[in-house]
């Protein structure tokens, strides 16, 4: 390889006095010392800069910038061949160094996984004029736990001292320094991610506790209020007494639904909830649900209709869980349908399955919220919903319960028009005669 940085003429040709051997040796030793000092300063700068950086990108930039200060130009190319950091000290007088130089070298496989020194003109395409100004490229891989992460490249320009084996050793030390910093940064990142997750979990638990305290207090306050009135007013007429008792039953029912949902979501989260399959007499279950909510619907002046065929097939599910899911839909229909509206509970066989639907003429659900409401603690915050109690767990529990019974839930809703929640379950036995 030709050597473009060598002095083209010896001193003698210029008429300057020749150096003695001793002087030459002294000069050589001075060069070695100067070089060692430069290398040590470079490695110290890399160690400091990498130590101060606490993410991968910052470490690569620090590495490229210190390396460019030491040699001339430097780049860090990721294992996938992307130039992730680049720095140069080259001025126009030395000839420009384009950043893609390093990517080209990486593509050509220079020093990808093992340290090496490469004459650039052999590495690069002839058409790359920048190669005229670069005499040598050194590459040191950055490897963590056996995985090749990136490669640090250093290129020396025409006016610089050439990069040799000693330079490569120094560059490899610098890469090792970056490796240690990367390991530390990754550990720090993992720790921060875990800390963030713990903080989010703790915040969620606080919010959850605040919400359930509020949710449980509202129906309890109503129950206690009515109970006090009944206890302290002997003169209350039978009709008013019955009305208040009905309110107590309704609030107690809501309270029980909430408590059951909360217990279930905790059990589901811990993977402890199981659903024992059995043959469920759907007609009985649906009639029970209708009886349970009828008074509630009437208390808000909602029309309530039940539509089931006489020969509704039984399903393979779990009686208590089907009741829980349907009650949840019905209570939601009650909560989110303005007074004067209508709620319908209907069921019919569909092929090998049975569809049970709760239809309301309520506020409806926007398409963008349709999937979200099945997530735990998801509530739609609008003026219309804010006034309604709820911890946002009912539908999350319902979906998981239905999936555990090998069924599906679908939602069909139009804002301002109403919603229909449909559960599909597999038929469990022959259609009753």
Give the interface with ligand ADP as residue ranges (CB under 6 A).
328, 332-333, 336, 360, 362-363, 365, 373, 378-380, 385, 390-396, 419
Minimum CB separation from ligand ADP for residue 357, in Å? 12
**Is residue 189 within 8 Å of residue 55, measured between CB atoms?**
yes
Q: Return d(Cα 248, Cα 278) in angstroms, integer.
A: 33
Nearer to ligand ADP, 214 or 228 (CB): 214
Token pair belonging to 405: 């019974």
Nearer to ligand ADP, 151 or 332 (CB): 332
**Is residue 393 within 8 Å of residue 325, measured between CB atoms?**
no
Nearer to ligand ADP, 362 or 407 (CB): 362
Question: Helix or strand or coil: residue 407?
Answer: coil
Q: Nearest 5°: CA angle at 344, between 341 and 345?
A: 155
Minimum CB separation from ligand ADP for residue 146, in Å? 48
C-beta nearest to ligand ADP: residue: 390
Give the CA distances from residue 121 to residues 83, 163, 242, 388, in Å, rounded to whole numbers and listed in that order.
20, 14, 98, 75
Closest to 354 measured CA to CA, from 406, 276, 396: 406
Question: Helix or strand or coil: residue 55?
Answer: coil
Nearer to ligand ADP, 314 or 337 (CB): 337
Nearer to ligand ADP, 180 or 379 (CB): 379
Q: Nearest 5°: CA angle at 413, between 408 and 416?
A: 160
Q: Return d(Cα 226, Cα 123) in angstroms, integer.
A: 89
Nearer to ligand ADP, 388 or 431 (CB): 388
Minimum CB separation from ligand ADP for residue 69, in Å? 59
Minimum CB separation from ligand ADP for residue 318, in Å? 19
Minimum CB separation from ligand ADP for residue 199, in Å? 25
Minimum CB separation from ligand ADP for residue 283, in Å? 24
Token pair belonging to 87: 């720095």
């Amino acid at each position: 390889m030709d050597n473009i940085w060598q002095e083209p003429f010896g001193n003698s040709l210029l008429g300057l006095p020749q150096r003695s051997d001793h002087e030459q040796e002294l000069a050589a030793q001075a060069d070695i010392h100067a070089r060692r000092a430069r290398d040590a300063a470079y490695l110290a700068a890399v160690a400091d800069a990498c130590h101060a950086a606490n993410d991968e990108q910052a470490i690569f930039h620090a590495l490229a910038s210190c390396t460019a200060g030491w040699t001339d130009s430097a780049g860090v190319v990721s294992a996938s061949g992307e130039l992730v950091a680049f720095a140069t000290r080259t001025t126009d007088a030395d000839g420009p160094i384009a950043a893609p130089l390093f990517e080209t070298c990486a593509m050509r496989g220079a020093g990808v996984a093992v340290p090496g020194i490469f004459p650039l003109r052999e590495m690069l395409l002839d058409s790359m004029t920048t190669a005229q100004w670069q005499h040598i490229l050194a590459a040191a891989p950055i490897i963590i736990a056996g995985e090749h992460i990136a490669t640090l490249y250093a290129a020396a320009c025409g006016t610089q001292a050439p990069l040799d084996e000693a330079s490569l050793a120094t560059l490899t030390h610098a890469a090792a320094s970056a490796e240690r910093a990367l390991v530390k940064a990754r550990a720090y990142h993992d720790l921060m991610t875990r800390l963030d997750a713990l903080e989010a979990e703790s915040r969620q638990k606080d919010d959850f506790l605040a919400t359930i305290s509020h949710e449980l207090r509202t129906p309890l306050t109503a129950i206690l209020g009515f109970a006090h009135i009944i206890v302290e007013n002997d003169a209350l007429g039978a009709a008013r007494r019955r009305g208040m008792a009905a309110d107590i039953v309704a609030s107690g029912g809501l309270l029980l639904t909430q408590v059951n949902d909360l217990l279930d979501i905790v059990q589901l989260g811990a993977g402890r909830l199981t659903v024992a399959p059995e043959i469920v007499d759907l007609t009985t279950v649906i009639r029970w649900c209708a009886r349970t909510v009828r008074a509630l619907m009437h208390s808000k002046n909602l029309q309530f209709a039940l539509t089931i065929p006489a020969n509704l097939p039984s399903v393979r599910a779990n009686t208590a869980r089907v009741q829980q899911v349907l009650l949840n839909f019905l209570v939601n229909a009650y909560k989110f349908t303005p007074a004067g509206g209508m709620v319908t509970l209907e069921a019919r066989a569909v092929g090998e399955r049975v569809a049970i639907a709760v239809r309301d003429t309520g506020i409806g659900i926007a398409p963008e919220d349709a999937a979200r409401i099945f997530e735990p603690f998801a509530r739609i915050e609008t003026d219309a919903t804010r006034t309604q109690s709820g911890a946002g767990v009912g539908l999350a529990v319902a979906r998981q319960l239905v999936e555990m019974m090998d069924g599906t839930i679908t939602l069909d809703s139009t804002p301002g028009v109403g919603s229909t929640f449909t559960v599909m379950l597999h038929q469990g036995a022959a259609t009753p005669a």
